[in-house]
Amino acid sequence: MSTLVNTPFRSKYGFESTGFEVDSLGNISAKSISLVDATEVPDSDLPADNAFSEVGGNFRLSGNATDNPGFTVFRTKTVTIDLDLTTLNFNIYSDAGFTTLYSLGLTHDSGDTGVDVQGKTSGRIAWTVPLEAPDTLYYANTAGTVSGTITIENAPSAFSEVDITSTIASTSTTTGALTVAGGAGIAGDLNLGGNLNIQGIGIPALSSSTNLDLSAGNKIVVKINDVLLGSIGATGSALPVVDTTINNTTIGSTTPATAAFTSATVSSEPTANSGIANKQYVDRTAVALAIAFGL
């Protein structure tokens, strides 16, 4: 009788079992992979990002004379906090009423993690701020009688290239595959595959510090409140001049001016020698002169 040997992870090129194999090129196929990280003890060789001591029964940050000051941390980044407290202990809360502890991402140089890090009075805390952390958290003693505010922001990042594959359409300044809460600075060209919609309070401006070149492959179409006014094309402008004034300039006021029309109508009669006469005025005046001079 041969001896039965259990070898659940075995293959010609590597480990193999149900749902897991390695091919000749080293490619791994698996139904699922779970990664378990060992607890990292905070490094005490470097200065802490924030060092709390106790002065007069209040929290003090190193180099800060303000009692219970606020401080800022960044999502996905690890911040270190040194504690040197006497009557106080250090806790992080998710609410201003200090009833719910926020323990995600906490480790202590004692080896404690999560909620076991809460209430410490000494040592170093390393806090990897979760991506889903709210904008505001609070630190306080257990009783909640001495407290400060923690502001959580998105970490500044620098990328050589970003590819956003979401196809969510944008219908406002707060919707779409990418939204930016503040302004955006772009050093190079901006190419849009859709419409450019300018939204804002007051009168949004399209400005340039030098010449502004507006060009189109066919026409520049002008609409007001979705009503077509006309267009400007290669052969000229089809924009109507309706109820329009030219301020501070009288055409032909200093030099002679001429105009040629296929047809024109002047509804009012002239009141000055330089006024334009209509046909009715001319005909009536011509008849009067003919009678007066016997023509």
Query: Contact, 102 vs 108, CB < 8 A?
Result: no
6 pLDDT higher than 60: no
Percent with pLDDT over 70 in the chain: 81
Distance CA 41, CA 125 (A): 9
Distance CA 54, CA 63 (A): 13
Residue 95 lies in a domain: yes
Distance CA 103, CA 222 (A): 58
pLDDT bucket at 184, cuts 50 / 70 / 90: confident
Distance CA 27, CA 14 (A): 10
Query: Contact, 229 vs 239, CB < 8 A?
Result: yes
Q: Which domain, by its residues, includes 23?
A: 1-36
Instruction: Let me know whether 27 and 90 are in one domain.
Output: no
Query: pLDDT at position 43, please?
Result: 63
249 pLDDT higher than 60: no
Residue 43 lies in a domain: no
Locate the DSSP E strands across 196-238. 220-224, 227-233, 236-237
Distance CA 138, CA 95 (A): 7
Instruction: Let me know whether 72 and 18 are in one domain.
Output: no
Which domain-ending residue is among 124, 153, 182?
A: 153
Query: Contact, 154 vs 110, CB < 8 A?
Result: no
Q: Total domain count for the chain?
A: 2
